[in-house]
């Protein structure tokens, strides 16, 4: 387990040391006219101004960003358009060079602050946001994802109605780079989950669905910076070990998860490396619980790697990985329909592309169906 927590061993001390050497944090009210010199002046302001505010928000929303390009504006707008308004938005610029942060500055309001740091990776950026967060509840959003307007309100309600829950997460829809819904079924879950449930089959989907109690982070620790990927899974599993059934699913489709070409999370080889690393870690943290479900968990994850290869139209590798999934846990594979569906889709990969796409439904509809009623497109 990472030895970082939100207490004395947290990134707070190191961030203060950095702050003494360079401007790092600003309070942004960006409806004012914007000039390049203003950035230098505002970045020199200290975080103390925000800490001295008379009220502490209910939620801190942390958005790490590194060269997010055109997607960042949509992500920020979707946070600012929340129906629940008692939050602070902490944007951590992890050494971006594409100017995306500067381009969205006029959208901000007094609830938003900006932290700038040299590029250190997503877990370090998230930890910097945690060190600055003031609220007892913390939500995360990736810089290319979006929220429905009622997302935070639903998680506030879930935490209030389920005091045993340390983590809540929402359902999600998959979209492409253009914001068009992909031909994938929505991802949603119901009820409570524990460590064994989530290691077996990680229902949460992506970081942008998550909200976490600060008290749980103080006990479980923050993001492990040695994980370039799957750091969110690692964190949730550590929190789930604190007590049984402490992860609660909100089935409403309140997160849009963007899948696009070039994402490293679409590289099955990279993901397989970090899955092995994660397994090694949980074997040490919870050896008895991990041993009960490791084969089933590995079967599910190998099937997921097969799907990533299938997405890249590498059907031979997809079939090979699917066979590996079967070999890890044949019984589990037989009773899980996702394996059979993916196997049929991989077999269709031998057909002409047009026939394959027609049979598997891989083409994307032009619009998110309105009958879901759960996501309204943000302004802009």
Predicted pLDDT at 351: 58
Closest CA to 275 of 306, 307, 297, 242: 297
What's the confidence (pLDDT) of residue 352?
Answer: 59
Residues 345-354 pLDDT 10s = 777 766 555 5
Query: What pLDDT shows up at residue 276?
Result: 96
Average the pLDDT over 198-218 and give the result: 96
User: For 256-305, how does the pLDDT look when each residue is reduced to its tens digit (9 = 90+)?
Assistant: 999 876 565 668 899 999 999 999 999 999 999 999 999 999 999 999 99
Q: Quick one: pLDDT at residue 47?
A: 45
Q: Using the predicted structure, report yes or no on whether residue 109 has a pLDDT greater than 80.
A: no
105 pLDDT higher than 90: no
pLDDT exceeds cutoff 90 at 130:
yes
Nearest to 58 by CA among 27, 85, 25, 91: 85
* Close Cβ partners of 301 (under 8 Å, ≥ 6 residues apart): 275
Mean pLDDT computed over 78-84? 95
What is the token pair recorded at 242? Answer: 């604190």
CB distance 92 to 120 below 8 Å:
no
* Entry field: residues in the chain: 380
Model pLDDT, residue 259: 84
Phi-psi region of 177 (alpha: psi -120 to 50; beta: other; left: phi over 0): alpha
Task: Say which CATH architecture domain 12-260 belongs to.
Answer: Alpha-Beta Complex (3.90)
Please report the pLDDT score of residue 264 as a whole number.
58
- The answer to whether 144 and 127 are in contact (CB under 8 A) is no
Q: Does the pLDDT at position 2 exceed 60?
A: no
Q: What is the pLDDT of residue 364?
A: 35
Instruction: Give the pLDDT band (50/70/90) at residue 147.
Output: very high
Indicate the domain borders of the chain. 12-260, 268-360
**pTM greater than 0.85:** no
Strand-pairing partners, residue 89, are 61, 112
DSSP 169: E
Distance CA 112, CA 124 (A): 20
């Amino acid at each position: 387990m990472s030895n970082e927590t939100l207490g004395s061993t947290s990134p707070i001390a190191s961030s203060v040391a950095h702050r003494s050497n360079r401007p790092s944090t600003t309070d942004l009210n960006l409806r004012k006219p914007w000039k390049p010199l203003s950035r230098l002046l505002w970045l020199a302001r200290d975080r103390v101004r925000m800490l001295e505010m008379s009220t502490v928000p209910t939620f801190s929303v942390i958005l790490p960003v590194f060269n997010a390009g055109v997607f960042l504006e949509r992500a920020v707008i979707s946070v600012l358009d929340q129906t629940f308004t008692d939050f602070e938005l902490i944007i951590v610029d992890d050494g971006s060079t594409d100017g995306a942060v500067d381009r969205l500055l006029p959208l901000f309001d007094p609830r938003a602050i900006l932290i700038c740091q040299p590029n250190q990776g997503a877990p370090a950026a998230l930890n910097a946001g945690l060190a600055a967060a003031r609220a007892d509840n913390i939500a995360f959003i990736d810089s290319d994802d979006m929220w429905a307007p009622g997302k935070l309100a639903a998680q506030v309600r879930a935490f209030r109605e389920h005091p045993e829950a340390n983590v809540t997460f929402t359902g999600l829809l998959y979209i492409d780079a253009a914001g068009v819904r992909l031909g994938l079924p929505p991802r949603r879950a119901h009820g409570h989950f524990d460590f064994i449930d989530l290691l077996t089959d990680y229902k949460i989907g992506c970081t942008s669905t998550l909200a976490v109690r600060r008290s749980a982070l103080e006990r479980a620790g923050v993001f492990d910076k040695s994980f370039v990927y799957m750091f969110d899974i690692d964190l949730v599993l550590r929190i789930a070990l604190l007590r049984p059934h402490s992860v609660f699913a909100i089935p409403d489709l309140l997160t849009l998860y963007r899948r696009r070409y070039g994402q490293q999370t679409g590289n099955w080889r990279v993901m397989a490396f970090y899955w092995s690393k994660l397994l090694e870690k949980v074997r040490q943290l919870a050896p008895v619980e991990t041993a009960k479900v490791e084969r089933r968990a590995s079967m599910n994850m190998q099937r997921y790697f097969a799907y990533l290869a299938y997405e890249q139209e590498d059907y031979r590798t997809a079939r090979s990985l699917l066979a590996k999934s079967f070999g890890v846990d044949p019984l589990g594979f037989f009773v899980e329909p996702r394996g059979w569906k993916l196997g049929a889709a991989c077999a269709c990969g031998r057909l002409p592309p047009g026939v394959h796409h027609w049979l598997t439904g891989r083409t994307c509809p032009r619009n998110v169906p309105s009958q879901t009623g759960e996501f309204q497109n943000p302004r802009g």
